[in-house]
Amino acid sequence: MHTTDTLAPPPGFCAHDRKSPLTDPWEPLFARKTDRAVVLGLRAGPAHANSRGFVHGGLIGALADNAMGLSCARTTGHAGGFVTGAWCGDPECEAKVKAETKATIRYVPLEAKDPGAPCVVCGRPGVDEATWAIAY
Ligand SMILES: [Zn+2]
């Protein structure tokens, strides 16, 4: 009798090491990495299917988004990620960060965690805590 270990990576793949709450229910996910791309894969089963038994388009879209971001990071050399810091609220400070790093503000919480902390750009008192990231 032949059985397939559905938890083991297929040939050429390894376990995908970038976990997220969105993709946790779809595990195990697998990755094949080259110098220019990250290819993601999974062994599709009922947990990945829509009501007609096909792999759900939302799953495919989410994994494509994940793979494209990781591939862009490999190609451009940017590690990606998010940076959080105090921001004075001045659009000129936001523009300066963008000009120097290509990162733009992705998130500002409804309530600042540390109001008055010095802006990471100009040093004036911060009014918000901003999270910057580079879009791919
Ligand atoms: Zn500032």
pLDDT tens for 25-82 read 999 999 999 988 999 999 999 999 999 999 999 999 999 998 988 888 777 766 667 8
Instruction: Examine the domain organization and report whether 88 and 126 are in the same domain.
Output: yes
| Spatial distance between the Cα atoms of 135 and 57, rounded to a whole number of angstroms | 23
Residue 95 lies in a domain: yes
Looking at the fold, whether 70 and 37 belong to one and the same domain comes out as yes
Query: Structural domain of residue 23, as residue ranges?
Result: 14-76
- Phi and psi at residue 53, in whole multiples of 5°? 90, 5
Q: How confident is the model at residue 128 (pLDDT cuts 50, 70, 90)?
A: confident
Kindly state the percentage of the chain with pLDDT values over 90.
Answer: 51
Give the distance (Å) from ligand 1 centre to CA of residue 90: 6
- Same-domain pairing of 124 and 71: no
Residue 88 in domain: yes
Residue 123 Cα to ligand 1 middle (Å): 6
Q: From 91, 73, 79, select the one nearest 128 (Cα to Cα).
A: 91
Q: Which of 65-74, 85-94, 97-106 has the weakest average pLDDT?
A: 65-74
Alpha carbon 30 to its chain's center: 16
pTM: 0.56
Instruction: Give strand pairing partners of 30.
Output: 15, 41
